[in-house]
Structure 1
Amino acid sequence: MLHLRLITPSDKTDGVVRLIERTVGTTHLVVLPGAARNPAGDVVLCDVAREAGDELIGSLRALGLDSTGSIAVENIDLSLSKRAEKAEDEAPGEGADAVLWEHLADATHEESTLSITYVAFITLATMIAACGVVLDNAVLIVGAMAVGPEFGPLAGFSTALVQRHPRLALRSVIALLVGFAVAMAVTVGFSLFMDAVGLFSEEQLKAERPNTGFVYAPDAFSFVVAVLAGIAGTLSLTSAKSGALVGVAISVTTVPAAANAAVALSYGDTAQTWGSTEQLLLNLLGIVLAGTLTLLAQKWLWSKQRERTAARSTL
């Protein structure tokens, strides 16, 4: 269930209340006349089944409530109410399958923002991965994958393509390009420093690396895994099962590939630099392609679900 807290201008409250009452899957409607001070107006509270949330939020925005008042949405972790159970039963589809497009756009907007924190995380992840590739240490590679924040901009770009948000697409591309550019540049310097103090060596980079050699040897499996990870990551975002994102993070080799390219570049090893860059680009392409197609499929399936529900309601 979702909890909505709305601030409505007094002249729009009746229309908002009627809209909520007409929406299948809503309950616990509360109206507090004149309770809001900034902006001034009435406060309307209600709970709505997740599968009916996107339609209701879209209708509220169509009334202009996002500009004249306020729309706040929260997840309800526990609701002990027969009315809530009835609302969920009446709502079409399953809550886990529903996509809250406004929430997805907002979440990916935040995750794809180029910030100091984002750059710090992707840089630290790349430096950790650099240690992993030189030492051929799979544990460090997995740790670097988990730390890397690059899935946010990738999901943001896929969302932007499906929802046709050019600003979100541009923001995501900038975060990816600048983030990886800074991370790789810093890692080149880090690699030179580690070599100077005797902790890295070119011999280690060029030696047999059974645990990490895959990061500069892209093949068909690299693309397949990236596609599968992109599907899983997108589903985890749209179904609010964010725990799956950890598994997605450690299944693709974006950060390790960038790290290996940076270390190889510091030693002038063009073969490994190019191979790692191919691996990086292949993973990025696979994730974006899979994420976009997954969102399009979810959008189509949910529209069909609504059409079937509307057809049954008219019988």
Structure 2
Amino acid sequence: MLHLRLITPADRTDDVVRLIENTVGTAHLAVLAGAARNPVGDVVLCDVAREAGDELLTGLQELGIEDTGSIAVENIDLSLSKRADKAEEEAPGEGADAVLWEHLTDATHEESTLSVTYLAFITLATMIAACGVVLDNAILIVGAMAVGPEFGPLAGLSTALIQRAPRLALRSLIALVAGFAVAMAVTVGFSWFMDALGQFSEEQLEGDRPNTAFVYAPDAFSFIVAVLAGIAGTLSLTSAKSGALVGVAISVTTVPAAANAAVALSYGDTKQTWGSTEQLLLNLLGIVLAGTLTLLAQKWLWSKQRGHTSAGQGSAP
């Protein structure tokens, strides 16, 4: 269930209440007349089944509530109410399959913002991965994958393509390009520094690395794994199962490939630099492609599911 807290102008409250009452899957409607002070208006509270949330949010936006008032949405972790149970049963479809497009757009917008924190995480992840590739340490590689924040802008690109949001696409692209550029540039300097300390050496990079050689040797499986990870990551975002994102993060070699390219570049190894760059681009392409197709499939399947449910309710005696 979702909890909605709305601030509505007094002259729009009746329209909002009517919309909520006519939306299948809502419960616990409450109106606090004149309770809002900034902006001035009424406060309307209600709960709605997740599978009916997108329809209700769309209706509220069509009424202009986001422009004249406020729409706040929260997830309800626990609701002990028979009316809430009934609302979820009445709502068409399954909550786990529902996509809240506004929530997805807002979440990916935040995650794809080029910020100091984002640059810090992707740079630190790349430096950790650099240690992993030089030492041929798979544990460091996995740790770097988990730290990397690059799935946010990748998901933002997929969402922007589906929602036709050019500003989100541009923001995500800038975060990706600038993030990896800064991270790789800093890692080149980090590699020179570690070499000066005697911790990195060209012999280690060029030597036999059975645990990490895959990061500069792209093949068909690189793309296949990236596609599967893109599907899993997108599903975890749309179903609010964010814990699955950790598994997605450690299944693709974006950060390790960028790290290997940076270290190889610091030693002038163009072969490994190019191979790692190919691995990086292949993974990025696979994730974006898979994420976009997954969102398209979800949108189509959800519309079909809602259509069948509505037809069944309409034909019921």
1:290 aligns with 2:290: yes
Deviation string 1:186-228 (CA, Å, 9 cap, x unpaired) is 0000000000110000000000000000000000000000000
Identify the residue that residue 234 of structure 1 maps to in structure 2.
234
What is the CA-CA distance between 1:311 and the residue it aligns to?
1.7
What is the CA-CA distance between 1:152 and the residue it aligns to?
0.1
The within-5 A match list for 1:140-219 is 140-219=140-219
Identify the residue that residue 129 of structure 2 maps to in structure 1.
129
What is the CA-CA distance between 1:307 and the residue it aligns to?
1.3
Deviation string 1:96-150 (CA, Å, 9 cap, x unpaired) is 1100000000000000000000000000000000000000000000000000000
Structure 1 distance, partners of 2:166, 2:310, is 32
The within-5 A match list for 1:37-76 is 37-76=37-76
What is the CA-CA distance between 1:305 and the residue it aligns to?
1.4
Structure 2 distance, partners of 1:25, 1:310, is 13
What letter corresponds to residue 3 of structure 1 in structure 2? H
Q: TM-score, normalised by structure 1?
A: 1.00
Structure 2 distance, partners of 1:143, 1:244, is 16
The root-mean-square deviation of aligned C-alpha atoms, in Å, is 0.5
Structure 2 distance, partners of 1:312, 1:43, is 35
1:312 aligns with 2:312: yes
Q: How many residues align?
A: 315
Structure 1 distance, partners of 2:247, 2:310, is 38
Structure 1 distance, partners of 2:221, 2:279, is 11
What letter corresponds to residue 216 of structure 1 in structure 2? Y
Structure 2 distance, partners of 1:313, 1:167, is 40
Structure 1 distance, partners of 2:64, 2:285, is 37
What is the CA-CA distance between 1:313 and the residue it aligns to?
2.9
Deviation string 1:141-191 (CA, Å, 9 cap, x unpaired) is 000000000000000000000010000000000000000000000000000
What letter corresponds to residue 6 of structure 2 in structure 1? L
Structure 2 distance, partners of 1:305, 1:94, is 9
Structure 2 distance, partners of 1:313, 1:80, is 26
Residue aligned with 2:79, SS: coil
Fraction of identical pairs, as percent: 86
Identify the residue that residue 250 of structure 1 maps to in structure 2.
250
Residue aligned with 1:21, SS: helix
What is the CA-CA distance between 1:254 and the residue it aligns to?
0.0
Residue aligned with 1:41, SS: strand
Residue aligned with 2:46, SS: strand
Identify the residue that residue 271 of structure 2 maps to in structure 1.
271
What is the CA-CA distance between 1:19 and the residue it aligns to?
0.3
Identify the residue that residue 8 of structure 1 maps to in structure 2.
8
Identify the residue that residue 78 of structure 2 maps to in structure 1.
78
Identify the residue that residue 30 of structure 1 maps to in structure 2.
30
Structure 1 distance, partners of 2:141, 2:209, is 13
For structure 1, list consecutive stretches of 5 or more residues without a partner in the other structure: none
For structure 2, list consecutive stretches of 5 or more residues without a partner in the other structure: none
What letter corresponds to residue 279 of structure 1 in structure 2? Q
Identify the residue that residue 225 of structure 1 maps to in structure 2.
225
Work out whether residues 92 and 310 of structure 2, in 8 Å CA contact, stay in contact via their aligned partners in 1: no
Residue aligned with 2:4, SS: strand
Work out whether residues 7 and 39 of structure 2, in 8 Å CA contact, stay in contact via their aligned partners in 1: yes
Structure 2 distance, partners of 1:283, 1:24, is 42
> Which range is displaced more, 300-309 or 50-59?
300-309
What letter corresponds to residue 206 of structure 1 in structure 2? E
